Amino acid sequence: MTTFTIGASDFLLDGAPHRVIAGALHYFRIHPDHWADRIRKARLMGLNTIETYVAWNAHEPVRGEWDATGANDLGRFLDLVAAEGMHAIVRPGPYICAEWHNGGLPVWLTSTPGIGLRRSEPQYLAAVTEFLRRVYEIVVPRQIDRGGNVVLVQIENEYGAYGSDAEYLRELVRVTRDAGITVPLTTVDQPEPGMLRDGSLPELHRTGSFGSRATERLATLREHQSTGPLMCSEFWDGWFDWWGGVHHTTDAAASAAELDALLAAGASVNIYMLHGGTNFGTTNGANDKGRYAPIVTSYDYDAPLDESGFATEKFHAFREVIAKYAPVPAESVPVRPTAPAFDVPLTATGDWLPTPAADAGAAAVPPTFEDLGQLGPLVRYDVTLPEELFGTADAAPLVFAEVRDLAWVAVDGVTVGRLSRALHERALTIPRGVRLTVVVEDQGRVNYDHRLGEEKGLIGPVTLAGRQLEGWSATLVDVERIAADLAAPRAAAGSGAAAGRTALRGAFALDAASDLFLDTAAWGKGYVFVNGFFLGRYWAAGPQRTLYVPGPVTRAGANEIVVLELDQVVASVAAFVAAPDLGHREE
């Protein structure tokens, strides 16, 4: 039996000192047909371990409907890591942050009345216990002391930045050990004394998360973890992007120098990220520290392996550093090839928004996404505009208590404005009319701090000329079903205008399945599907200008593309380009 334990100053593999040199790969951000390729390239960089979070809301978006197959097959992912001769670290949270929607927590959980998130509250603990048991059914038989490759399991995630409920942490440990996890348990926090104190327990091994000033931060970590190996469990080698911002990059040489300092100090490391992948569909998170900032579709992270899985300058710089401390395979790693470049004419099919249900609602305030059980990004709200509220005026002020997160406002079918949470907008003047329609987009659920689980949609009452509008109806918008219907052979021929909100579709041929990069610069805001696969969101706000199309979702011969545009297209064409463009950077 192979053992992995924590010694006085080192990790011990079968009793001998062992350094963990790991990299983060999130299986839920990578097409499953690419898992083996990304894992192999991690080994070629010199890594001996792969780390992954477990995204609860990917496995159980609807309560009781657990899925660990296909893109959610954590067991297969861990087995592929083992097949490459590498160890694995599993971080099941239940909270993961990760710039992933709702920090990995399911909406059904966070919207439970009276629930207390990330603390020892009975409803929360009962649900977390069930989740962890399901994860550990997968992990337990794959532990290193049972013939597998899992060497560490993390309890919670940067908990010291959120709370200090030691009983909660102890309960997570109890559930973990009772489920059969026998490998060492860790916690991770930023190297701040309060966080390191509050985020762990004496029986758990503390690790740090940082991307600079390695020597100083390891010293702080040592003050709070007096024995055992030092480890940076999240060595931040890049950063994430948000809509309306810039594309973040870090200097490869500077990052490599920090990695060198870590390894020279004898520390173990987990590089976050080795390969970021993509927030496919609408799985991106958001931050709100006074201003709401939704994360872009790409999670490239300026990592050593780019979004499409190819080696960057940082990969080679890190590989050179690692070679000073550990064996590195001699096999070369290919650079990203030039992708096929071509244009596909698109046919506009007109407005794709569903009409409201025949039985108009009578809600005094608009129901939230949570009230409606909507997991998708859009809800359509409709209400009658009482004529008397306009008086003798041709227009009147419309005021929302709060919009989460972006709302298109129309009167009698004509768009009159848009309101953005990011810009703190919640009011506009509308013309006299009979019917008000408001389409609201959830742009991404906050994944950090105490805004976890906040409601989406129109929040609270809506007033016109100072008086509350009542009698609201709400219609769920299923963008995946709409896209599937538009792509189906039975779909009506394109006859709509390309002005305003419209759906577009087209077809293209490939000689072979291939990674592609789709230029979205000619479009406003919306969603794209290729052969039914939901690539994600695009937005002219940038910085991201291309969407990554994984090769496995394409095929030799005929392929189809569907675009659901919410704003306005400049050109009805899908332009596939030779390389990605993730936007402008800070000078």
For residue range 167-224, what is the model confidence (pLDDT) as tens digits? 999 999 999 999 999 999 999 999 999 999 999 999 999 999 999 999 999 999 999 9
Rounded (5°) CA angle 147-188-84: 30
- Cα(460)–Cα(403) distance, rounded to whole angstroms? 9
Tokens of 347: 């046919």
Under-50 pLDDT residues of the chain: none
Strands 87-91 and 49-53: parallel
Contact 567, 539 (CB under 8 A): no
Q: What is the pLDDT of residue 490?
A: 57
Q: Which amino acid is at 424?
A: H
Q: Which amino acid is at 402?
A: E
How many helices and strands, by DSSP H and E, does the chain display? Answer: 12, 32
Contact 52, 101 (CB under 8 A): no
Q: What is the pLDDT of residue 492?
A: 54
Instruction: Catalogue all structural domains in the chain, each as residue range(s) with its CATH number.
Output: 18-322 (3.20.20.80), 342-350+479-577 (2.60.120.260), 369-471 (2.60.120.260)
Of 286, 242, 101, 100, the closest CA to residue 541 belongs to 242
> What CA–CA distances, in Å, run from 439 to 101, 381, 404, 500?
21, 6, 11, 13
Q: In what order do the strands lie in the sheet with 533-539?
A: 347-350, 502-510, 557-565, 525-530, 533-539
Active site residue 121: no
- Cα(302)–Cα(292) distance, rounded to whole angstroms? 23
Contacts of range 355-360, beta carbons closer than 8 Å, 24 or more positions apart = 355/475, 356/380, 356/382, 356/473, 356/475, 357/473, 357/475, 359/473, 360/471, 360/473
Contact 453, 117 (CB under 8 A): yes
Give one word for 434, left, alpha or beta, with left for phi > 0 and alpha for psi -120 to 50. Answer: alpha
Contact 446, 454 (CB under 8 A): yes
- pTM as predicted: 0.97
Tokens of 424: 């703190």
Active site residue 234: yes
Q: What is the pLDDT of residue 444?
A: 98
**Buried (b) or exposed (e) across 494-506, using 16+ Cβ within 10 A?**
bebebebbbbbbb
Q: What is the pLDDT of residue 176?
A: 99
Residue 120 DSSP code: S
If DSSP codes are grouped into helix, strand and coil, which group holds residue 408? strand
**Candidates 51, 158, 258, 370; catalytic one:** 158
Q: What is the pLDDT of residue 584?
A: 93
- Cα(500)–Cα(564) distance, rounded to whole angstroms? 11
H or E stretch including 82?
A: helix 74-83
List all residues 6 or more positions away from 531 whose beta carbon is below 8 Å from its beta carbon.
553, 554, 555, 559, 560
List all residues 6 or more positions away from 130 whose beta carbon is below 8 Å from its beta carbon.
none
> What CA–CA distances, in Å, run from 423 to 89, 121, 244, 248?
40, 35, 11, 22
Q: What is the pLDDT of residue 495?
A: 53
Q: What is the pLDDT of residue 498?
A: 74
Q: What is the pLDDT of residue 357?
A: 73
Rounded (5°) CA angle 448-451-454: 125
**Candidates 51, 60, 99, 234; catalytic one:** 234
